[in-house]
Amino acid sequence: AAAALKPGGTVIRYGVGYDNIDLGAAGDHGLRVGYVPDYCADEVAEHTVSAALALLRKLPALDASVRSGTWAAAQTARPMKPFADTVFGFFGLGQIGRAVQQRLAGLGFRFIASDPMLSQADAAALGVRRVDTATLLGEADVLCLHAPATRETTGFFNAANLAAMQPHAIIVNSARGQLIVEDDLAEALSAGTIGGAALDVFNVEPLPADSPLRTAPNVLLTPHAAWYSDAAIDRLQGLVAEDVARALRGEGPRRPVGR
């Protein structure tokens, strides 16, 4: 497809992720690549916060217990920590991760993060303790994933690393499905070696009918919806139109992607 475009042309990704674009081929053909990483940061952050708090307070399990005829709050909810005793961990603390942390900051949580791009000064300014991944896995009560899918991060959450987490820990993924080995997560949920998961992104979308995640306990599944609000669609379309206009004027994209 890149060969069909003139050198100096522009490819615009209609959205955030650009892992479906061959940046090497685009560069070889002299094409500029742009994307729109900033149209839905607030929506993704708010979805992440909503999912995490719902699982922390065991809302899906409590709702299901009432619907099944059970009236047993403590038995259904335990274990449950107060927010002040809960550690929120971040696997990646870029734009969206920071938006999540800022929304949670007034609720009494403690924060840790593992991100090679996070400076000690930035961490201190945010009220976040910078840690290595082993500490992140071992201490987080809730672990939010906000990292791209790279050679280092793809499949990072496999059986071994999931086993390093606390048995009550919750994992929330609104970043990239490829970060998690889904069969390993489903097995950990079924075995009770991890407390719960909220997943908005998957290795294959739509989620296959035979995915073990569909029947795993304590998992909240949403159909790659974290980006959505009526305003986000308008914002995306406007920013892409702006990039089209820039390309027609011979200018580079507003947010270029490096090769």
d(Cα 119, Cα 128) in Å, to the nearest integer?
11
Q: Is residue 112 within 8 Å of 126, Cβ to Cβ?
A: no
Q: What is the DSSP letter of 256?
A: B
Catalytic residue, from 29, 98, 146, 176: name it: 176
Quote the CA–CA distance of 13 and 11 in Å, as a whole number. Answer: 7
Q: Clarify whether 205 is annotated catalytic.
A: yes
Look up 43 and say whether it is catalytic.
no
Whether 151 is a known active-site residue: answer: no
Which of 110, 224, 235, 254 is an active site residue? 224
Distances (CA, A) of 71 to 66, 77, 79: 6, 11, 17
Question: Which of the following is catalytic: 57, 152, 205, 251?
Answer: 205
Catalytic (active-site) positions: 176, 205, 224
